[in-house]
Amino acid sequence: PLILLFKGEITEEDYWKIVKEKGRWEVPVEYFQRAVRDNFIEIEGTRKILKNISKSEYQMGLISDHAKEWIEYCEGKFDYHKLFDEIVYSFQDEVRALKSEKKPFEVMLEKLEIEPQHGLFIDDLKQNVRVAEEVGLQVLQFESVEQLSSDLLVKYEINL
């Protein structure tokens, strides 16, 4: 059901009802909603990197596998979305696909109006990095803020 939620085929409430039923849990849906939101955190140091890149000549796009309701919460709490030139969410009508598929990358490349070899995709999940490579993007796997800063400087001469 998580894939259905991320693709926008069911609502968050429907998702938690399915989870409750499968787990036979007798707790209100609001409990799950609150618990998941309490776990959204900003990784310290990433905002600085994003701000520095956004001030450069580079365009930035965000591709995210998420539930619509979770994005609404995160955008309100973290306000990170304003740092990007383009955003592609898995639940959007023109996407309805996860980063484990090529579609989100193709949509982003079209929005940014660039060829894949001119794009750099950064993600913490190896599977997502592998799909981005298949699309033709340059890639970095995020492990830490320090590692990302170093890789951007050494591999791409982006000084943060």
Query: Can you give the pLDDT at residue 84?
Result: 97
Helices and strands counted in the chain (H then E): 8, 4
Query: Can you give the pLDDT at residue 35?
Result: 97
pLDDT 10s digits, 114-155 = 999 999 999 999 999 999 999 999 999 999 999 999 999 999
Prediction pTM value: 0.93
Query: Can you give the pLDDT at residue 54?
Result: 86
Sign of CA dihedral 80, 85, 91, 92: positive
Cα dist from 2 to 20, 68, 133, 148, 152, whole Å: 13, 12, 25, 29, 33
- Report the chain (160 residues): mean pLDDT per 10 consecutive residues: 98 98 96 97 95 90 98 96 97 98 98 97 97 98 96 87
What is the chain's alpha carbon radius of gyration, rounded to the nearest angstrom?
17
Which single residue is written with the structure tokens 């059901």? Answer: 1
d(CA 45, CA 142): 13
CA 23 to chain CA centroid, nearest Å: 28
Helices 68-78 and 12-23 cross at an angle (nearest 10°) of 110
d(CA 131, CA 65): 14
Which single residue is written with the structure tokens 């929005």? Answer: 111
Query: Can you give the pLDDT at residue 33?
Result: 97
Residue type (1 letter), 139: V
Query: Can you give the pLDDT at residue 65?
Result: 98
